[in-house]
Structure 1
Amino acid sequence: MGPRLTNYPVDTSVRQSAVTQAARVKALGKVPMFEDLSKRNLTKIAKLSTVKKTHKDEILVVEGQKGSELMVVLDGRAVVRRGKRKLGELGPGEVFGEMALLDDEPRSATVTALEPMRLLAVSGPAFRKLLPVVPALTEAVLAGLSKRLRAANAIADH
């Protein structure tokens, strides 16, 4: 059986009990992209987030498809591929999906779960709603994208 494409059913019992808003704020605060945001701003993001559980081999985003949410890895690991080429892996505290929300372009890579995962997801509309309310979020996302671009350039140079 090959990888599955999922619409991420939200397990509301997990959202409400296992990962409280306070736990989501704490998790977001550990993400390098968000670590400089105030607790108040992290709370604004957490309020608009949902927890999603995935299974091993689930395809989380598909290269070339329109993106609809930003995701933060709470636990588990995923592989990032462009075509058949492996670009890297994602683990706890890492973010993906933000590029498609910023430029409205199709996803630049496919991300597949290597093991069961829990993700914190922020929908595109919620993300765009946050940008004018949390100006520091724009800076945080741009800094994260800049680091990613520099890393990609370093790989391309070798």
Structure 2
Amino acid sequence: MTSSIFDALSPAEAAQVRAAGTQLTLPAGWSPIGERTPADKAYILTAGEVSVRRNGTEIAQLGPGQIIGEAAIVNHTLRSATIVALTPLEAIHFTSAKLEELVARIPAFADALTRAAAERLESGSAPE
């Protein structure tokens, strides 16, 4: 997986993606995504680290540039993992509708998102 979802985008496309979301600051210990919940949002981390946990066991850690929550949106499933902030986070929040709008409007983002979701599912660390 690329180190950042933005790596596959032109600077103009990356700016469009950033502008489409809402900047958030989340405290350490916060859980922005819970296992077995609906796929209603995704986040791109801009600072900080998260733990990806399935059935309470950590299966991955992710950091800046990584997207979380996309796999369940792309695959139309419930979340398969819980995300817990290990540090304070800076993130860009996207509703599922906004993410789907970006996918329709920016083909390179659609490709990057699909690739990220597929790679996470293959590795078993999908933070859906």
TM-score of the alignment, normalized to the shorter chain, above 0.5: yes
Partner of 2:45, secondary structure, is: strand
1:53-95 per-position Cα deviation (integer Å, ceiling 9, x unaligned) = 1112111100000122221111111111111221011112211
C-alpha separation between the residues in 1 aligned to 2:3 and 2:20? 17
1:126-154 per-position Cα deviation (integer Å, ceiling 9, x unaligned) = 1111122111112111222233234339x
CA RMSD of aligned residues (A): 1.9
Letter of the structure 1 residue corresponding to residue 37 of structure 2: Q
2:98 aligned partner = 126
Contact persistence 2:20–2:94 (CA under 8 A): yes
Following superposition, the deviation at residue 35 of structure 1 comes to 0.9
Task: For structure 1, list consecutive stretches of 5 or more residues without a partner in the other structure.
Answer: 1-29, 154-158
2:86 aligned partner = 114
C-alpha separation between the residues in 1 aligned to 2:87 and 2:75? 30
Partner of 1:59, secondary structure, is: coil
Percent identity over the alignment is 23
1:15 aligned partner = none
TM-score, L = length of structure 2: 0.85
C-alpha separation between the residues in 2 aligned to 1:33 and 1:94? 6
1:11 aligned partner = none
Contact persistence 1:33–1:143 (CA under 8 A): no
C-alpha separation between the residues in 2 aligned to 1:34 and 1:115? 22
| Mapping for residues 35-50 of structure 1, pairs under 5 Å | 35-50=7-22
TM-score, L = length of structure 1: 0.70
1:56 aligned partner = 28
1:100-127 per-position Cα deviation (integer Å, ceiling 9, x unaligned) = 2212211110001112111111221111
Partner of 2:22, secondary structure, is: strand
Matching of residue 149 in structure 1 with residue 128 in structure 2: no
Residue among 70, 73, 85 paired with 1:101: 73
C-alpha separation between the residues in 1 aligned to 2:76 and 2:124? 21
2:50 aligned partner = 78
Task: For structure 2, list consecutive stretches of 5 or more residues without a partner in the other structure.
Answer: none
1:24-69 per-position Cα deviation (integer Å, ceiling 9, x unaligned) = xxxxxx9533312122222221221111111121111000001222
Contact persistence 1:61–1:67 (CA under 8 A): no
